[in-house]
């Protein structure tokens, strides 16, 4: 059992939890993830490690309540425990040797981009961070991101806070203004990462993206997390989750992601009906 030390609501749909997991905290690095199971009959879901404290022995996860398991997880409070919490899994992001880096987060992806920026900043790199959200009410970790970057630019689709527009608009302006980067890291929705990779390709800037496909076991056995990179099949759980954004087949990844939307919706509807006691039938 893994005790929840702290729970914080970041916005109406996003929650942060600090979980007591000293063995994982000792070895965790930016880019890695855990797989958890809320209770004995629950499904396994992967969540990226958003932060860790080696001294306190805690691992931070940040998740959006979008389905049955995240809803169950969100019902837990500080003092409750998570049954299974396995990690660190995946390959840590290689962050040494870079002098100037642009780190880009889209929506909840900003929570995953934050530890990357933080580590780069600690290593002495100059970090420009661009974080994009749909509106001001969805902005998370602004203070943390500001502390992890030399320059933070926040965008909102509707202009309700910060710069109006998309993260790619800002990145293009920075590049056109003569800013040069050794590396660009993009983490967020697949379509956003695709557009970032398309933007940086003509500039010849190494671009890393974090892939988060459907994942079951975290060991490469189930094959659910396969992605095509450079024309070859890779498994996000053991080969990634980081890949060269210029080689990822984003169109295929987007198609595969959409395949499971109906199943996720049905599972969540059944869970909610059980909570309310209402009868619900499918078919």
Residue ranges and CATH numbers for the domains of the chain are 2-89 (2.40.30.10), 100-259 (3.40.50.80)
- The number of beta carbons lying within 10 Å of the beta carbon of residue 144 is 18
Task: Output the CA torsion sign for 112, 49, 227, 225.
Answer: negative
Q: How far apart are the first and last CA of the chain?
A: 38
Backbone φ and ψ of 89, nearest 5°: -115, 160
The SS3 call for residue 272 is: helix
* Residues 180-199 pLDDT 10s: 999 999 999 999 999 999 99
User: Rounded distance, CA 108 to CA 99, Å?
Assistant: 26
Strand positions, DSSP E, the chain: 2-11, 14-20, 33-37, 45-53, 58-64, 81-82, 84-89, 100-106, 126-133, 151-156, 163-164, 183-187, 206-210, 226-229, 232-235, 242-244
- The number of beta carbons lying within 10 Å of the beta carbon of residue 90 is 24
The SS3 call for residue 111 is: helix
- Count Cα atoms within 13 angstroms, Cβ side, for 137: 2
3-state helix, strand, coil in the chain (%, to 5): 30, 35, 35
Task: Output the CA torsion sign for 22, 85, 106, 76.
Answer: negative
Per-residue model confidence (pLDDT) at position 261: 58
β-pairing, 206-210 vs 183-187, is parallel
Q: Which residues of the chain have pLDDT under 50?
A: 268, 270-272, 276-283
Give me the torsion for CA of 255, 261, 264, 266, rounded to 10°: -140
The SS3 call for residue 76 is: coil
Q: How far is CA 272 from CA 15, 49, 70, 75, 267, in A?
A: 19, 27, 12, 12, 9
User: Rounded distance, CA 194 to CA 214, Å?
Assistant: 18
Per-residue model confidence (pLDDT) at position 162: 73
Q: Which residues contact 274 (CB under 8 A, 6 or more apart)?
A: none
Per-residue model confidence (pLDDT) at position 270: 47
Give me the torsion for CA of 91, 198, 45, 234, rounded to 10°: -50
Per-residue model confidence (pLDDT) at position 220: 67
């Amino acid at each position: 059992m893994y005790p929840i030390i702290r729970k914080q609501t970041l916005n109406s749909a996003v929650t942060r939890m600090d979980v007591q997991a000293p063995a994982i905290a000792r070895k965790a690095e930016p880019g890695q993830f855990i797989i958890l199971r809320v209770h004995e009959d629950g499904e396994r879901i992967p969540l990226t490690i958003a932060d860790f404290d080696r001294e306190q022995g805690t691992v931070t996860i940040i998740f959006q309540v979008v389905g049955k398991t995240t809803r169950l997880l969100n019902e837990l409070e500080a003092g409750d425990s998570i049954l299974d919490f396995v990690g660190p899994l995946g390959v840590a992001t290689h962050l040494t040797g870079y002098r100037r880096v642009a780190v880009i987060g889209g929506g909840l992806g900003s929570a995953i981009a934050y530890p990357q920026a933080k580590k780069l900043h600690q290593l002495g790199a100059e970090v420009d961070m661009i974080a994009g959200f749909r509106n001001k009410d969805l902005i998370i970790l602004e203070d943390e991101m500001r502390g992890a970057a030399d320059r933070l630019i926040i965008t909102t689709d509707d202009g309700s806070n910060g710069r109006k527009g998309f993260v790619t608009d800002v990145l293009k302006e920075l590049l056109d203004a003569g800013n040069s980067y050794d590396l660009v890291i993009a983490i967020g929705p697949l379509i956003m990462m695709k557009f970032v990779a398309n933007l940086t390709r003509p500039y010849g800037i190494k671009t890393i993206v974090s892939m988060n496909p459907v994942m079951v076991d975290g060991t490469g056995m189930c094959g659910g997390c396969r992605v095509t990179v450079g024309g070859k099949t890779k498994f996000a759980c053991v080969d990634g989750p980081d890949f060269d954004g210029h080689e990822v087949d984003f169109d295929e990844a987007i198609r595969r992601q959409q395949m499971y939307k109906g199943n996720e919706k049905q599972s969540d509807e059944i869970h909610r009906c059980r909570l309310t006691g209402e009868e619900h039938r499918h078919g």
